[in-house]
Structure 1
């Protein structure tokens, strides 16, 4: 299944996205796609539905974040060998974890706001994992059973805030609009192997990132198990699993985003499986 939330900010309706891209209205079945609903058997109930009985939503609606009420937005740094190399940092022996504020979350195609004073806003295409069942100190072998689905993430970063202002990375990762997710949540039966996905990102029509999840240092199952040793993962939590090479920081000379720049990014699997695309235009900060 592909699940989405469509409509203006704060008034999104839950939707089921058909293979052809049209959206069926789920609001008569569930009030919203929330972290709480994911933990209460929502996916099992939706799987038993006859989608043809659901009314269509109008075409052209905005894609909001596909899950409301995300509790934790966890990120993994330096999880692709080529990205660690371009950053000039050794491949980590254990996953590098940091938090991204949930207030950064926005819709897949919403405008990206360049923060006040920013000169180094950067892009990062990533695979996001949405937790569907509580995970607490679980083994690798059963980790994927705790996944509700997968989604596309642009882990935007302000590199000066992240690397030059002291403290931890969270400052450069959590600006408003720095967490576009979606356009939809793709449930696990469509993605049997999260290590068989291609990631890509373009800026102003130039391909900047090409990667594959098989190149992760730590795979999805290991990350879920590892993180669950240090904190309980709850339904609706998101793990953004790292980015391949090609970020602006790694170019020579570095290239960063400014007002008017356009990003297009996506994740594709085998046999036509896709986590969809995002398209974002950057705009200047305004008080």
Structure 2
């Protein structure tokens, strides 16, 4: 099941479930469909009307949402349908800080270490490396992101972000994979000149956290529709030109391993963890990456097969 969080003419935040109408993707507005079916804020079967309600409601909420989707899709009433091209997108979950893996795709790690044997010798793979992306940086599908005035080395990184559906910490005895609610698309925009200077001090913060540096969305694909997440294929295009393409078989630390590691922070439903990016970022294009960096006027598409395409405009 693919779900979306958005605004429409109906007012505040909506929970939409993707359905097909004459071969075209449409959004079933859960609250509208539930009200028509016989409820007020929820349907008679208890389908939640917000993304967090669906996530926190667990298996019963998912079952109710699927039942409502079947009912609504059979009737295809435009009263409860929204066109994805006509809505105002919101981030798939309410904005919050996310945990981001670094150098977690094998070939990306290799491209980042070429010519840097000294630093490579200091790296280990006992546990994931990463940084925090502040919630205030996250922006939805079709956002305009301003290139900061003091940034020229403006880079892209397509990633998959997993969305937590259960609370989990270091003492939990649940399977980390079972804590994953679903998957969405993330573009880890980066100011490389700032990032590289920060890394000399053993940190990453500003280079990843300028305003708008976290495009996220548009959909969450629920985990029950992804039997093998290692088969997820991700790619990125700039102005239609393919820059990155890989699948998750190249991951060093898999989804469950990242959940288990970051659970030491104490994770809760709606938390986000990103995979890291595959090879092909602008920074590692030789001999001169300048022509590859993002510039005002660029259109960036980050895609994951089965989930959709996250579109961002650089201004």
Structure ID, larger Rg: 2
Structure 1: state its 5+ residue gaps: 269-273
Offset, 1:167? 5.7
Say whether residues 1:110 and 2:136 are aligned partners: no
Match of 1:3 in 2: 3
Contact 1:131–1:236 (CA under 8 A) maintained in structure 2: yes
Match of 1:62 in 2: 88
Match of 2:108 in 1: 83
Q: Distance in 1 between matches of 2:181 and 2:275?
A: 15
Alignment of 1:217-256 (within 5 A): 217-228=252-263, 230-252=264-286, 253-254=288-289, 255-256=292-293
Contact 2:233–2:248 (CA under 8 A) maintained in structure 1: yes
Q: Distance in 1 between matches of 2:249 and 2:174?
A: 18
Match of 1:45 among 48, 60, 64: 64
Q: Distance in 1 between matches of 2:95 and 2:298?
A: 30
Offset, 1:31? 4.6
Match of 2:308 in 1: 276
Match of 1:33 in 2: 51
Contact 2:95–2:138 (CA under 8 A) maintained in structure 1: no
| C-alpha distance after superposition, 1:225-278 (max 9, x if no partner) | 1211x211110000011100000111111121110011112011xxxxx11002
Alignment of 1:19-30 (within 5 A): 19=20, 20-28=24-32, 29=42, 30=48
| C-alpha distance after superposition, 1:68-117 (max 9, x if no partner) | 253x3010000011111111264641210210001111112211221231
Match of 1:148 in 2: 181
Return closer, same or farther for 1:233/1:199 CA change in 2, 3 Å cut-off: same
Return closer, same or farther for 1:101/1:68 CA change in 2, 3 Å cut-off: same
Offset, 1:62? 3.0
Contact 1:137–1:232 (CA under 8 A) maintained in structure 2: yes
Match of 1:13 in 2: 14
Structure 2: state its 5+ residue gaps: 33-41, 43-47, 74-79, 114-118
Alignment TM-score, normalising by the size of structure 2: 0.80
Contact 1:141–1:221 (CA under 8 A) maintained in structure 2: no
Contact 1:265–1:277 (CA under 8 A) maintained in structure 2: yes
Contact 2:17–2:69 (CA under 8 A) maintained in structure 1: no
What secondary structure is seen at the aligned counterpart in 1 of 2:161? strand
| C-alpha RMSD over aligned residues | 2.2
Say whether residues 1:192 and 2:227 are aligned partners: yes
Contact 1:78–1:92 (CA under 8 A) maintained in structure 2: no
What secondary structure is seen at the aligned counterpart in 1 of 2:175? helix
Structure with the higher fraction of residues in helix conformation: 2
Say whether residues 1:135 and 2:135 are aligned partners: no
Alignment TM-score, normalising by the size of structure 1: 0.88
Offset, 1:48? 3.6
What secondary structure is seen at the aligned counterpart in 1 of 2:277? coil
What secondary structure is seen at the aligned counterpart in 2 of 1:235? coil
